[in-house]
A and B are shown apart, each in its own frame.
Chain A
Amino acid sequence: MNIKERLVAAIENGTVIDHIPAEKTYQVASLLKLHELTEPITIGSNYPSGKLGKKGIIKVSDKFFTEEEISRLSVVAPNVVLSIIRNYEVTEKKTVETPDKLKGIIRCNNPKCITNNEPMSTIFRVVNKELGTVRCHYCDKEQDIKTVDLV
């Protein structure tokens, strides 16, 4: 049994999030609001990875994320894989789908945008999923998703 299988098998029921770029591990935890959960959570980082060099893995017991929650990860870690575990077995693998709209997830880069000047939620339309181009619903400024900050 290799290290990955051992990690995946370690929970009875829940979700294992794998292939997280190591430096994004805690952002993924934040986006999924893991700090609000009461279930057992294991966050591992800097594991060796053939593809990524170093990667993070998060295991959450008895928690199955919604599609909306998973789509939030497209902003920081679009290539993660979520394994759904039931009775110690991987029953399903999910990848992240970039949504058409991002609500309340990222900040607008434009300091003159209303979203940076009023207590309100941001809304972005994803105009090019391949290039990762998003457009602010309010100021229309197009920006590269790699250059934006999380809310």
Chain B
Amino acid sequence: MFIKNFCYLRTQILHLAQISSMEKQNFVTIADLSKDEILYLISMAQEFEKHPNREILKGKVVATLFFEPSTRTRLSFETAANRLGARVIGFADPKITSGTKGETLKDTILMVSNYADVIAMRHYIEGAAQYASEVAPIPIINAGDGAHMHPSQCLLDLYSIYKTQGTLENLNIYLVGDLKYGRTVHSLITAMRHFNPTFHFVAPKELAMPQEYKIYCREHNIKYIEHTEFNEDVISDADIIYMTRVQKERFSDLIEYERVKNVYILNKAMLCKSKDNMKILHPLPRVNEIAYDVDDDPHAYYIQQAQNGLYAREAIFCRCLGITLDDIKNDKTIIN
């Protein structure tokens, strides 16, 4: 009797563990990830950097649905899927989808869910990925939803910081340019809350960090200092300088734009007092906010940063498809 009960209990526990491991893993926002989850994803990305080409996703079908064109992000996701052996379906141009015929997002997502194992989607509507994750039976990856979230960009930013600094802890991070509308800088603040950073917000008044993010910093004991000046003295203490583009269309007063447009341009001469470990990041594309004479400087890191996106997105696909760090470490499908 005891043995029979024990066996039943064991079966139940195994069943629960199975259900738990089968729970759908979406990647819609980075704000909800714990410190351990972020570090786990970074460890996965490190493994993929060592061996980016594998067949660990062989037999899987990845859908990339770009309701808003974004060549750079789409190519990065599709490359990540291809390099892990998955096959890719999807669209790059919303004009060819049934959305133009009036189909709802829900119907499109459910239709594609019949074909694919995971969906990476980009949409111009805010909250679209969250909604898709609620209606889809398969995992949803947010490849950007309007001005709202871009969590895969955030993960590659974190990986770039970790890789160049050897840690995410106790860093001086300078956010420069458009801090009002720049979703990447907002995501970075929320994701870095676990790591005791000191942020420096360098922006013109019109594009200053919104009040809600300053409140967020105070609520989470994140230190921050605001600057309107941008020169070699201001940035001399930086570990990371995260540049963003000051966009003309964001200004209601064009005279103000003309006044500040050249103030937030980083050039080589401004790096004379920088710390050796300092690296310059930029989500790209840049227009003129980083002068071309910076490109050959050892502090420049924005091109390598984009390459890190490949490893970060390989990690995201695996997380969503239930592949663990141990699976990746013990992977026998590596292609050398």
Contacts and interface: CB of A to CB of B under 8 A. Distances in A.
30 contacts: A112-B146, A112-B147, A113-B125, A113-B126, A114-B127, A114-B128, A114-B130, A114-B131, A115-B127, A117-B105, A117-B125, A118-B104, A118-B106, A118-B131, A120-B106, A120-B131, A136-B127, A137-B127, A137-B130, A138-B126, A138-B127, A138-B130, A138-B131, A139-B127, A139-B146, A139-B148, A140-B126, A140-B127, A140-B148, A141-B126
Given A139-B148, A142-B212, 14 more contacts: A110-B126, A112-B124, A112-B125, A112-B147, A114-B145, A115-B127, A117-B105, A118-B105, A118-B125, A119-B104, A138-B130, A139-B127, A139-B146, A140-B148
Interface string B217-256: 0000000000000000000000000000000000000000
Nearest to B186: A140
A140 B29 CA distance: 11
Interface in B140-167: 145-148
A120 B146 CA distance: 19
Nearest to A135: B212
Chain A interface size, as a band, is 10 to 19
Contacts of A138: 126-127, 130-131
A119 B105 CA distance: 9
Per DSSP, chain A at the interface is: loop
Interface string A110-151: 101111011110000000000000001111111000000000
Q: Interface centre among A114, A119, A137, A138, by most B CB within 10 Å? A: A114
B126 A114 contact: yes
A114 B104 contact: no
Contacts of A119: 104
Interface in B108-150: 124-128, 130-131, 145-148
Nearest to B31: A140
Contacts of A120: 106, 131
Contact of A114 (B105, B147, B212): B105
The 6 closest A-B pairs by CB, nearest first: A138-B127, A139-B126, A114-B127, A139-B127, A114-B131, A114-B128
Contacts of A139: 126-127, 146, 148
Contacts of A140: 126-127, 148
A139 B128 CA distance: 8
B97 to A, nearest CB: 15
Contacts of B106: 118, 120
A142 B146 CA distance: 16
Contacts of A136: 127
